[in-house]
Amino acid sequence: MEDKVYDVVIVGGGPAGLTAALYCCRDNMSTLLFEPMLMGGMVNEATLIENYPGFPNGINGYELAATLLEHAKKFGLKEEIAAVTSIKKDGDIFEISSTAGNCKSRAVIVAAGSNKVKLGIPGEKELAGKGVSYCATCDGPFFRDCSVAVIGGGNTALAEADHLTKFASKVYLIHRRNEFRATSIVTERVAANEKIEKVTPYKAVSIEGKDQVERLILENASDGSKKELTVDAVFVAVGISPNTDFLKDLIPLEEDGTIRTDTNMATSVPGLFAAGDIRYGSIRQVISAAGDGATSAIAVKNYLS
Ligand code: NAP
């Protein structure tokens, strides 16, 4: 990290942050990008992205992340593998604190993405990494010829259930309502997959096992009756929440933790822009994250000049 005032600091290395970085670097803005984990962010966990334009056969999330990073680096991106812990503004200058040290910039694009929502039920925390997982792409291959459960009724849960049938002999799809909120193409694919058994309307009440997941205890959402499933793994896919805690002292957040912006991705703090999943009203798609990233970078250029 150089001791200078950067034109722009980008927080987050997912599709929004990497696209913003590509635009900023290509436009000769001095740019530093922070990412605490793996470049590409949550997109790394998608087995197959079928709705990102330009890839008619779909693309694996890990490959897309690598391509986005390579593209930004081609124009000179400098990245810091560290978590941003707070951002303050002094006059026109932002002061960014991170786990790797502090730096300053004239503008900030926050594209920090989301965290996976936890169920908060007994056994979830205790058996995390011992059969409880939040990523089927990462952990699915460990459960070859096993029985597994997926909890959730959105696009992630249904895509993960379908993906897991490549390894597991049986996949229970647990959802608290009878209707799924996933898109029809994914819902139809799941309906046609003989290895998937839908278990609805059921809520998971606890996950049990001695050293490893052994059972999932369910409660019927209509009549309260209980049911037990013998499973080797439980994949939790009950949504995502924006990673914006570190911004609480800088900008008011919406009730769901997102940040409100105008159509240029500008927030109510001059010089602070937000892009991707953390933006209020985001449709939370890879393509919209990339679009937000491009818009925010162009807006930063205009702001700086
Ligand atoms: P989501 O769409 O918010 O769905 C979360 C699911 O979990 C819902 O079905 C919800 O039930 C259920 N749920 C929430 N809290 C629960 C709890 N405590 N116990 C049991 N079930 C619970 O989340 P997501 O599937 O992770 O998707 C996040 C965003 O990314 C969405 O906007 C989605 O469209 C997008 N996404 C897009 C793609 C794609 O386009 N290829 C792929 C993945 C994700 P209810 O339905 O009853 O609320």
152 ligand 1 Cβ < 6 A: yes
The pLDDT confidence band at residue 47, using thresholds 50, 70 and 90, is confident
Q: How far apart are CA 274 and CA 58, in angstroms?
A: 28
Q: From ligand 1's centre to the CA of 31, what distance in Å?
A: 34
**228 pLDDT more than 90:** yes
Q: What is the DSSP letter of 259?
A: B
Q: Where are the beta strands (DSSP E) in 132-210?
A: 132-133, 147-151, 170-174, 196-199, 202-208
Mean of the pLDDT values across residues 8-15?
98
Mean of the pLDDT values across residues 56-67?
96
Q: Do both 23 and 110 map to the same domain? A: yes
Q: Which atom of ligand 1 is nearest to the CA of 238?
A: 7
Q: What is the DSSP letter of 298?
A: H
Q: Is 146 a catalytic residue?
A: no
Q: How far apart are CA 284 and CA 62, in angstroms?
A: 18
62 token code pair: 């890990």
57, 95, 275, 284 from 5: Cα distances, Å: 43, 9, 22, 32
Q: Do both 244 and 231 map to the same domain? A: no
Q: How far apart are CA 133 and CA 98, in angstroms?
A: 28
Q: Do both 185 and 109 map to the same domain? A: no
Q: From ligand 1's centre to the CA of 127, what distance in Å?
A: 22
Q: What integer pLDDT is reported at residue 237 of this predicted model?
A: 98
Mean of the pLDDT values across residues 141-166?
97
185 ligand 1 Cβ < 6 A: no
pTM of the entire predicted model: 0.90
Domain housing 281: 5-115+240-304
Q: Do both 282 and 229 map to the same domain? A: no
228 token code pair: 């037990």
Q: What integer pLDDT is reported at residue 3 of this predicted model?
A: 87
241 ligand 1 Cβ < 6 A: no
The total domain count for the chain is: 2
Q: For 195-224, what is each residue's pLDDT tens digit?
A: 999 999 999 999 999 999 999 999 999 999
Q: Which of 193, 211, 236 corresponds to the end of one domain?
A: 236
Q: Which of 221, 236, 251 corresponds to the end of one domain?
A: 236
Instruction: Give which of 249, 244, 237 is closest to 274, Cα–Cα.
Output: 244
Q: From ligand 1's centre to the CA of 119, what distance in Å?
A: 13
Q: Among 48-52, 80-84, 119-123, which stretch is predicted with the lowest mean pLDDT?
A: 48-52
